[in-house]
């Protein structure tokens, strides 16, 4: 059995709303009226189909106002309700992705949820979400297994690492905007006892890594 292949653009001769409506109207006219191209009936059907196709398009556009990644008119209102404050440099795509990440964070905070939140916030710049391997878990408890000074009560079990790439992020400002988008989403989805870090690369090397940017 062959595998179905999905393409990013439609291929073939799929009819649009206008063509479908016009064909339906012309079909209803037969056999009483001549539906052939160039006749008065054909022209009237063309105009009526234009009105109906516009109504279909408006209906689909209205339905998209409930989907963050497709919003147009509803986007500013949702941003206000969710406490998101876009700046002039933000593209519509970035604003929609940020809203989608915010709404996704309301669903839950399992590993899969957080991975999806980071992917929505970063888009093509998302690489992976990391957690500490259970074999490397460390748990410090005062009076039982105290940690070093200032870390007497700490653990790495509840830490998440978001790794991103800098593709198309040509300036520090563009990188900071992506990192901040993850921070906003994670702050609203992680429980108080969990922590996270965001960065590029695989590990921080003294003298080579950039503080605040290279992954720790």
Q: Is residue 167 part of a domain?
A: yes
Alpha helices in 37-167 (DSSP H): 40-64, 75-81, 92-105, 111-122
**Is 156 among the domain residues?**
yes
User: Are residue 180 and residue 92 in the same domain, yes or no?
Assistant: yes
Instruction: Tell whether 142 and 188 lie within a shared domain.
Output: yes
Tell me whether residue 69 is in a domain: no
d(CA 100, CA 140): 37
119 in a structural domain: yes
DSSP-derived secondary structure letter, 68: G
**pLDDT (0 to 100) of residue 15:** 64
Q: Which residues contact 154 (CB under 8 A, 6 or more apart)?
A: 138, 140, 147
Give the domain extent around 104.
78-199
Q: What tens digit of pLDDT does each residue of 69-98 get?
A: 888 888 888 888 888 888 887 888 888 888
Q: What is the pLDDT of residue 39?
A: 76
Element (DSSP H or E) covering residue 177: helix 172-189
Domain check: are 27 and 127 in the same one? Answer: no
pLDDT for res 178: 84
**What pLDDT, on the 0 to 100 scale, is given for residue 212?**
59
Closest CA to 90 of 171, 174, 172: 174
Same domain, 101 and 54: no
- Domain boundary residue among 37, 64, 91? 64
Q: What is the Cα–Cα distance from 117 to 107, expressed in whole angstroms?
A: 10
For 18, the enclosing helix (H) or strand (E) is helix 17-29
Single out the residue of 76, 78, 55, 58 nearest to residue 66, CA to CA.
78
Same structural domain, 153 and 91: yes
pLDDT at 38: 67
Total tally of structural domains belonging to the chain: 2
Residues of the chain with pLDDT under 70: 1-15, 32-38, 202-216
């Amino acid at each position: 059995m062959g595998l179905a292949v999905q393409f990013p653009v439609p291929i073939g001769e799929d009819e649009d709303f206008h063509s479908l409506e016009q064909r339906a109207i012309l079909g209803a006219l037969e056999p009483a009226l001549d539906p052939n191209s160039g006749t008065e009936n054909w022209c009237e059907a063309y105009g009526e189909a234009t009105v109906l196709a516009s109504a279909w398009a408006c209906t689909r556009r209205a339905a998209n106002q409930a989907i963050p990644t497709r919003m147009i008119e509803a986007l500013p209102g949702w941003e206000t309700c969710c406490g998101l404050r876009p700046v002039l440099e933000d593209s519509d795509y970035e604003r929609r992705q940020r809203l989608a990440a915010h709404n996704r964070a309301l669903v839950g905070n399992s590993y899969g949820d957080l991975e999806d939140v980071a992917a929505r916030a970063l888009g093509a710049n998302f690489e992976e979400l990391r957690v500490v391997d259970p074999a490397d878990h460390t748990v410090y408890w005062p009076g039982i297994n105290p940690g070093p000074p200032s870390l007497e009560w700490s653990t790495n079990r509840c830490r998440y690492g978001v790794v991103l790439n800098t593709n198309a992020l040509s300036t520090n400002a563009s990188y900071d905007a992506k990192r901040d988008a993850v921070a906003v989403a994670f702050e609203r989805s992680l429980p108080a006892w969990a922590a996270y870090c965001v960065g590029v690369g695989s590990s921080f090397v003294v003298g080579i890594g950039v503080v605040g940017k290279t992954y720790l």
